[in-house]
Structure 1
Amino acid sequence: MAHLYGRRYLRAFVSGFFVAVPVTVTFLDRVACVAKVEGASMQPSLNPSGRNKSDVVLLNRWTVRNYEVQRGDIVSLVSPKNPEQKIIKRVIALEGDIIKTMGHKNRYIKIPRGHMWVEGDHYGHSFDSNAFGPVSLGLLHAQATYILWPPNRWQKLKSLLPQERTPVQNHDD
């Protein structure tokens, strides 16, 4: 009799597993995931304590499913220099905007169609659009929406564009 219950339990587990795994994979692929933020490029917004502590953020994939981002959003994207790596930066300018760069070979750049300009909050400690130029929206992975860890840093991330990084001319103008 125990053998019969064991077989029934195993069948229920296997069928549940084959339902749960695709649902979980789909959720992580389409809706949200979490990521540990490493490095100093987004200080003080992320990792304000330095190297010894890393923030863990919620990456909302659903909000960027149509490649819609706003100036000031903190986003995760595939590195234009290393497709194996994801980077986290702030959106500074959108297609059609003219941006005054900080250290790029061109002093002013008009952001091409289907692209955005991203920068780390910690100028001089960030590998960003000032190094590699405008980024294709196709590299967009997710929007960072909450700090989940450590508990004392739990908060919704604000979409803020630093006053000194406002585009010279918005495409909205």
Structure 2
Amino acid sequence: MAQSKGWVRRYFKAFCKGFFVAVPVAVTFLDRVACVARVEGASMQPSLNPGGSQSSDVVLLNHWKVRNFEVQRGDIVSLVSPKNPEQKIIKRVIALEGDIVKTMGHKNRYVKVPRGHIWVEGDHHGHSFDSNSFGPVSLGLLHAHATHILWPPERWQKLESVLPPERLLVQREAE
């Protein structure tokens, strides 16, 4: 009986040591390197959630790539909503700082993206709450870069950084 209690005690002690090492490592990884997120809504159709409300894509979010605000036109990014800091949204980067973009429904027909900001839009115009509603977004609100669709299995793929042909830039500021 004493021998079985010793085994349980050793097991419990080893479990606790592993737990107290694994949890901080896992939290750090999920916070600083990568995590997964479920995409809800129709704003990024057809790139994400092409099946509408009956399906939700699950994407891999890479925190590492945006740590130095390294984004390109066409990247799909996760960011803190400028209107609701409790919410994260996922959109496509249309323009970078210094770019002049032709808007779609914004109060100004053309907008020059200020320094330290980006212009983001959903792929499904008219069903997206994006920069056309709230203007350029501060780079400080960037959360992660969406790199792959992980679920459902039949949609597993790498997400490409492409600008829709109708969203090409009006002008890029001379560097």
Structure 2: how far apart are the matches of 1:86 and 1:104?
21
- Structure 2 residue aligned with 1:56, among 55, 58, 62? 58
Aligned-partner SS, 2:149 = strand
Which residue is 1:157 aligned to? 159
Which residue is 1:106 aligned to? 108
- Where does 1:15-34 land on structure 2 (aligned, <5 Å)? 15-34=17-36
Which residue is 1:133 aligned to? 135
Aligned-partner SS, 1:138 = helix
Aligned-partner SS, 1:102 = coil
Structure 2: how far apart are the matches of 1:167 and 1:35?
30
The TM-score, its normalising length taken from structure 2, stands at 0.97
- Structure 1 residue aligned with 2:88, among 82, 86, 89? 86
Task: Among all aligned residue pairs of Structure 1 and Structure 2, give the percentage whose two residues are the same amino acid.
Answer: 79
Structure 2: how far apart are the matches of 1:31 and 1:65?
9
Name the amino acid aligned to 2:12.
Answer: L
Which residue is 1:45 aligned to? 47
Gaps of 5+ in 2: none
Name the amino acid aligned to 1:122.
Answer: H
Number of equivalences: 173
Gaps of 5+ in 1: none
Q: CA RMSD in A?
A: 0.9
The TM-score, its normalising length taken from structure 1, stands at 0.98
CA gap of 1:172–1:148, structure 2 versus 1, over 3 A, is farther
Aligned-partner SS, 1:67 = coil
Structure 1: how far apart are the matches of 2:168 and 2:23?
44
Aligned-partner SS, 1:98 = strand
Name the amino acid aligned to 1:20.
Answer: A
